[in-house]
Amino acid sequence: MVSSQRVLSIFDILGPIMIGPSSNHTAGAVRIGKIARMIFGEEPNLVKLYFYGSLAETYRGHMTDAAVIAGLLGMEIDDPKIQDSLLIAKQRQIKIEIYTQLISDKNPNTIELELKSKSYSIKINAVSIGGGEIVVSKIDEFDVDISGNRDMVLIILRKEKIKLIEKVQQMLGENLIFTETIPGNSGYLVFFYIENVISQSKLESIINIKEIDFIRIIKSLYSYKLKDDRPLFTTINEMLLIAKNNKKSLPQVIIEYESKRSGLKEKVIRNGIEQIWKTMKEEINQGLFMDNRLIGGLMDGKDAKRLYHALREKKLICGRPLSLAVARAIACGEVNASMGRVVAAPTAGAVGVIPSVILTVAEKLGSKKKDIIDALLVAAGIGLVIAYKAPISGAMGGCQSEVGVASAMAAAGIVQLAGGNAEQITHAMSMALKNLFGLVCDTVAGPVEVPCIKRNVIGVANAFAVADMALVGIKSIIPPDEVIDALKNIQTLMPMELRDTTLGGLGITDTAKKLKKQWLKRIK
């Protein structure tokens, strides 16, 4: 079982910048493929993929098979060629076999790979744990726990040879952070976690040690590495106390969290958030003003334009800020469903909530760039705490884990932009999150289109409403940290059929069944 208690970066919560449609089943799958390629060490000629539970039903619509292969081919998560990876693999004469098992006790985000070449084969088990994050849990017979957020040297020994391990440690010198030895049935797997990737000459020196049967360099999948796995805070209350006791703003506390976690300086962190903001605005413009062809074809990809044009002609009932934010949220969803370049915030399924809300409120208030970055930092900080306790994956906990969490983050961002205090920010988060408790993930057919895109809209409206409530002093009777505990409880109680399987809710309506048949026929 993969624990949700992981020390994420703010760039995991406001990110990754990726090609849609799913941060969990597309971006995460690319990363699984990429780290599997590093472990395997060469291009395979046979790839066997095994999908379970949710993925067994949705892997086609989420392009998971193409994403894993893209990673194996060395592509990054924002490479537009991801959708062509299966064709590229065929051209390279890589044989691909896919096996599915719907009813399973495995984590529904499990991806198992069996890779073969002329020289040898290897089996790798991995789990995509939400928002593009991954964990490798098994390499052949060895039970491991690799998140891909550190550089390492991996070796396999037939016997545990302390002197040999010490020799490698000495060769790595000050670059070595720590060593982990994992026993198996026929030998030992040893990880040497290192500060920076070693040189080719150093690698060759280690390779030349006769007793080593297997050696690989595993590079971090991220530009920001895990430097310190002791988080500055793990609860809302701790975050507030740090701010109060040190007389610092929430944005500053969140920057300090990231500096401690990833070793990044404040300027680098702010520049990173600014790049995310730039990408968010680009995806909104792409959705509103460019053609977007949804990969599932369940809709025409023009709903955002319809709303935007009606808004300009003053035909809509709601006020301008809400209507504009709704149009922008749908625009982001349509870009994501078209395999466009988007920011997972905190997931691709909830891609439209935070960008549309923050941009619209910032325009209304005349906010400066620094204010917008501070608001995004606060949103990320809220997301960090939620994700530490509860999964942010529809397959693990329904759409409350995606749109619900995004709405809570967006509400916190609005209050920050509007000049609210730290307590008001956390009460906005609490009210937004609990308002969407029980929101299911009942995907139609498989693509991230119905009801995913329109469901972002409720996250937008909810964020606006609770932000106003919090700004006038209305509070959540249940404290923020207890609200997050309640989310985790509901996620656990939610039936499998309502967690991104196409087997419940809208997914089993007569129309959904017809659409699924049409969709599967089109892609065969």
pLDDT for 414-446, tens place per residue? Answer: 999 999 999 999 999 999 999 999 999 999 998
Please indicate, yes or no, if residue 158 is contained in any of the structural domains.
Answer: yes
At 203, which CATH number?
3.30.70.260
Please indicate, yes or no, if residue 338 is contained in any of the structural domains.
Answer: no
Q: Cβ distance 18 to 78 under 8 Å?
A: yes
Amino acid at 471: L
H or E segment at 47? strand 46-52
Q: Cβ distance 341 to 480 under 8 Å?
A: no
Please indicate, yes or no, if residue 215 is contained in any of the structural domains.
Answer: yes
Q: What's the pLDDT score for residue 289?
A: 97
Apex 220 CA angle, 215 and 197, nearest 5 = 55
What's the CA gap between 209 and 57, in Å, rounded? 46
- Nearest-CA neighbor of 435 among 487, 386, 473? 487
Please indicate, yes or no, if residue 206 is contained in any of the structural domains.
Answer: yes
Residue ranges of the chain with pLDDT lower than 50?
A: 1-4
Q: Which two tokens stand for residue 99?
A: 């096996």
Q: Which two tokens stand for residue 100?
A: 């599915």
Q: What's the pLDDT score for residue 2?
A: 45
H or E segment at 71? helix 64-72
Q: What's the pLDDT score for residue 3?
A: 46
- Nearest-CA neighbor of 107 among 499, 429, 456? 499
Q: DSSP secondary-structure letter at 441?
A: B
| Structural domains counted in the chain | 1
Is it true that the peptide bond before 16 is cis, omega within 30 degrees of 0? yes
Q: Report pLDDT digits (tens) over 362-418.
A: 999 999 999 999 999 999 999 999 999 999 999 999 999 999 999 999 999 999 999
H or E segment at 339? none
Apex 321 CA angle, 318 and 325, nearest 5 = 95
Please indicate, yes or no, if residue 137 is contained in any of the structural domains.
Answer: no
Q: What's the pLDDT score for residue 524?
A: 67
Phi, psi of 111 (to 5 degrees): -125, 125
Please indicate, yes or no, if residue 211 is contained in any of the structural domains.
Answer: yes
Please indicate, yes or no, if residue 161 is contained in any of the structural domains.
Answer: yes
Radius of gyration (Cα) for the chain, nearest Å?
23
Detail the DSSP E strand segments found in 102-232. 110-116, 121-130, 133-139, 142-146, 151-157, 176-183, 188-194, 214-218
Write down the pTM of the prediction: 0.95
Please indicate, yes or no, if residue 403 is contained in any of the structural domains.
Answer: no
Q: Which two tokens stand for residue 31?
A: 């990363």
Residue-number span of the structural domain to which 204 is assigned: 151-219
